[in-house]
Every structure is written in C-alpha cells, then in structure tokens.
Chains A and B, each alone.
Chain A
C-alpha cells in the first residue's frame, strides 16, 4: 500500500524564514556585503569556484554568503546556477607557462631559472592567532622589488631535457572528454580523470593523496613546481575566426614528480602527476597531483593495490555535490520504506521466537514429567 505523505508546507516556509534570520545573525552587527566576502574571504571563494566548476568571483561570494559559510552548500548553489547558463564557447587551452606568476616554488631544485617566489603564503607563519585582527587592525603595506620580466620556464623541463621524465604528449585532434555532458565510463582517460579531480572534493582528494604517501600505494612524491597567478583566457568565436582574449583568471598549478623503478624494458626514470584549479587552491592542486599520479598506475602497468589506484572508487566518490546528496537524502521522509523494514524485522523475530518456543516446550514438559 502506498501512503501519500502530504503537509508540512507551512512548516517548510517557516523553517526557511528562520534560516534567513539565522543567516543574518545579530542585527546589531552590520550585514556582510558580497564584495566583502569576495575580497576578504577570497580563498573560500576560490574553493567554491573550483569545485562549483564555475569561475565567477561575485557569484561564488554570493553563494558563500547565502550558504552561511558552508562551502559544500555554496558549491551546490553554484553548480545549480551553472546549469541555467548556455555554453557559448570552449577556450583555447590556457598557457600556464606564460602565467603572470604571483607564487612559484620548487622543492626539487634550489636554483631554478626565475627563482623561488613565495608570494602570499601561509607557509612559515607560526599559526598563532593574530589578535590584532580582533582589534580591527589594518595590515601593513607589502614591500616591493624590481619586477622580473618575461615568462618563467617550467622546472620539469630540466628533467625532460635530460630524458629523466617523459615528454607529455599533446593531442589536439581528438575530442576532449567532458563529464558535464557525457556519463563517466571506465576505464577513464586522463582528460576525464583530470576534469573529475579538478571538480572533486578537496578533503577527499587530500585524504587519498595522504593515504598514497603513507603506504597505501607506492608514491614517493616531490613537488617539482607549484605556481599561482593570472593567465589569459582566449576563445575563437565562430563569427570572427580568430582568437580573442576575454580576460584573465587566477589559477593554481602543481606538478608532482615521483620515482619510477622501471622494468626489464624500461630504464628507471621519473613520472609526474598534475593538479590545476581556479583561484588559489594550493592544498587542492597538491592533493590532485598526487591522485592524478596514483590513477596512472594502470597506464604504467603497476599493480593496483590501494584505494587511491582504483579509478572507479576515486572518480565515483570525489564529487561532493553528489556525495552529500546521497548521504543527506537519508534525512528526508522514508516513513514507508522504514515501515516495510519494521514489519519485516518484527515478522522475522516473531517467527524465530515462535520456533524457539516450540523447541523449548517439549524440554520443559519432559522436566515436569
């Protein structure tokens, strides 16, 4: 029997009004402006843009405000919004080699052309709470130094030039996989894997990357290069037939290098993993590059021994919008499903108890006799 559940409309309306009040908080405190979120919670905005898969600082800031700082909820809001917009073009691949670098470090070589540039980083801070911020303190003006001209060469070229690392193959002929248009099929190619990881949950990828470092997998990684900065985005509109720049976006990039033992046919060498995100998401791109490497195990003929090697496990569970949806749907009314379970469990118990009863009765009769 199906029992329709109706009602609750009024309660839902009122719950949402209450939510709006909770979002606003104490009205004696000035209301948070979306521009303030965009400018002062910029790393939250960056994460929401990356995992929400839509670069738009204002919309991501609005989502953060609306979601009361719940970033996964904000990512959900942005994902929902992006489905309402038409896709007008596909960009030419961004050239991270020509990035206006705001941060660039390598852990593999000390002296690299272009140097180690720290940029704005939490690294080397003491992680002490800064009570000046509590007291409404303004920050200090940053120092300046003469700017360096020209693009900064990629660190990994040092290894490829020596043949210690495979040249990455380009393929501009075949179509690029797109998980927003086509279902994810296994085995997945690297383009599909990278798109999935770029949208994937930072925490999930961080844990998987960490697991591969700790021994669930066989990865001995070094950071070849991390860079963050602005790159130009270009499209070739059909009506023009030539490339035009539509603006700049900030991206973070990580290239991880790992040892490869080689085999009978192959010499020992290094292999790499790649991470790329919108905005400044360094932890994310580092984790992504670790997982990109563990997922190349199949291509390299390595044993698939750990969760981080299992592409179906990784790619099917990386999306936090899907994951939270399936987990959180459990709190919606399941009265009928549960009723069915309840009836079944009660019946089974009754049956078993009745059988036990029957088995014990003759014994007690015997004892009495």
Chain B
C-alpha cells in the first residue's frame, strides 16, 4: 500500500489503462478528502506530540467477486485514492502475482531509483575533514 500511496495518480492511471480486463467495482466508501494529524516525538524518540496535520484521501472499493480494497494516500487526489483501492483489491484476487510483478514491483523500483538519485546528490555534499597540524612537529 505504501508503494501505491507514493505512486501518484498519473502512473497508476497508466497502469490501469494497461490492464487487459478492467475490473467492475463499487464504492464502499467513495473517495473522501480529510486530514491526518502527524505526530512526532520530543527529542526524536521521547514523548509523542502533535506536529500538525497533512491532507489525505481515502477510498474503499469492492470488486464484483467480493474482494475489498482500501486506498489511503497523502494529498487530495481522489482518483489516486480510488486507483490505489482498486489495485489493493486486485492484489487479493487470483491475478495477485501478475499485479505484483507487472505493476507494484516496477513502481517500487522507480521509487527506489528516485530515492537513490537524491541520496547520491546528498552524498556529494558530505564533508571530508583534513586535520591541520599547527606548530612545531
């Protein structure tokens, strides 16, 4: 679900368009925009506190065969939450492994790639200290 949440509606729409047979589904809960209160910890690992809220959209769908899928995605993109829920439901059907291999894995790979690129740029700003020896010997 984390992969689907990070994907954004554009790649998910593309993946959905690529499905050979589109599933029939009903909304158990139509896409709904709301907020999540984000908590942090004092000193990074101590007592919890409320940092502030973030927007989130949630959606629940039920496929014709009864599989139920949930989408919880950061932001206000209703279509994103809907598609995330549909794929989550499809992951509970007999085409699970196909969805996993053809859609989820490539998305996860792309996300990992994006993180790596960022991390490589960050790594170039690592400081290497040279010790300056002062005075005699």
| A170 within 8 Å of B (CB atoms) | yes
Known contacts A92-B39, A147-B116, A233-B74; A170/B46 CB under 8 A: yes
Q: From B33, B42, B53, B121, give the contact of A194 (CB < 8 A).
A: B42
| B101 within 8 Å of A (CB atoms) | no
Count A-B pairs with CB separation below 8 Å: 221
The number of residues on chain A lying at the interface, defined by a beta carbon within 8 Å of a beta carbon of chain B, is 79
Report Cα–Cα, A186/B36, bound state, in Å: 27
Question: A246 to B5, Cβ gap below 8 A?
Answer: yes
Report Cα–Cα, A96/B46, bound state, in Å: 12
| A143 within 8 Å of B (CB atoms) | yes
Q: From A115, A170, A233, give the contact of B47 (CB < 8 A).
A: A170
| B133 within 8 Å of A (CB atoms) | no
| B56 within 8 Å of A (CB atoms) | yes
Known contacts A96-B44, A178-B37, A247-B74; A195/B49 CB under 8 A: yes
Question: Would you give the 0/1 interface string for B29-41, flagging 1 where the beta carbon is closer than 8 Å to chain A?
Answer: 0001111111111
Q: Which residues of B contact A110 (CB under 8 A)?
A: 129
Report Cα–Cα, A235/B71, bound state, in Å: 12
Q: Which residues of A contact B72 (CB under 8 A)?
A: 235, 237, 244, 246
Report Cα–Cα, A179/B60, bound state, in Å: 31
Within 8 A of A (CB), among B1-32: 1-2, 5-6, 32
Question: B122 to A88, Cβ gap below 8 A?
Answer: no
Q: Which residues of A contact B40 (CB under 8 A)?
A: 93-94, 96, 194, 198, 251, 276
Within 8 A of B (CB), among A191-249: 191-192, 194-195, 198-199, 232-233, 235, 237, 239-240, 244-249
Report Cα–Cα, A303/B45, bound state, in Å: 28
| A86 within 8 Å of B (CB atoms) | yes
Question: B42 to A55, Cβ gap below 8 A?
Answer: no
Known contacts A82-B53, A85-B33; A144/B123 CB under 8 A: yes
The number of residues on chain B lying at the interface, defined by a beta carbon within 8 Å of a beta carbon of chain A, is 51
Question: A168 to B45, Cβ gap below 8 A?
Answer: yes
Question: A168 to B119, Cβ gap below 8 A?
Answer: no
Question: B120 to A56, Cβ gap below 8 A?
Answer: no
Question: Would you give the 0/1 interface string for A125-166, flagging 1 where the beta carbon is closer than 8 Å to chain B?
Answer: 000000000000000001111111000001010000000000
Overall SS of chain A's interface: mixed
Report Cα–Cα, A291/B130, bound state, in Å: 35
Report Cα–Cα, A35/B48, bound state, in Å: 34
| B96 within 8 Å of A (CB atoms) | no
Question: B127 to A117, Cβ gap below 8 A?
Answer: yes
**B33, B55, B70: residue with the most chain A Cβ atoms closer than 10 Å:** B55
Report Cα–Cα, A244/B48, bound state, in Å: 19
Q: Which residues of B contact A172 (CB under 8 A)?
A: 48
Report Cα–Cα, A264/B49, bound state, in Å: 32
Question: A142 to B124, Cβ gap below 8 A?
Answer: yes
Additional A-B contacts beyond A89-B56, A247-B73, A274-B42 (4; CB < 8 A): A94-B39, A168-B45, A170-B48, A249-B54
Q: Which residues of B contact A (CB under 8 A)?
A: 1-2, 5-6, 32-56, 58, 60, 70, 72-76, 115-127, 129
**Can you list 15 A-B pairs, Cβ within 8 angstroms, ordered by A?**
A55-B55, A58-B76, A87-B37, A88-B35, A88-B58, A89-B36, A90-B37, A91-B36, A91-B37, A101-B122, A144-B123, A145-B124, A176-B50, A199-B52, A251-B40
Q: Which residues of A contact B (CB under 8 A)?
A: 49-50, 53-56, 58-59, 82, 85-94, 96-97, 100-103, 110-111, 115-120, 142-148, 154, 156, 168-172, 176-180, 190-192, 194-195, 198-199, 232-233, 235, 237, 239-240, 244-249, 251, 253, 255, 272, 274, 276-278
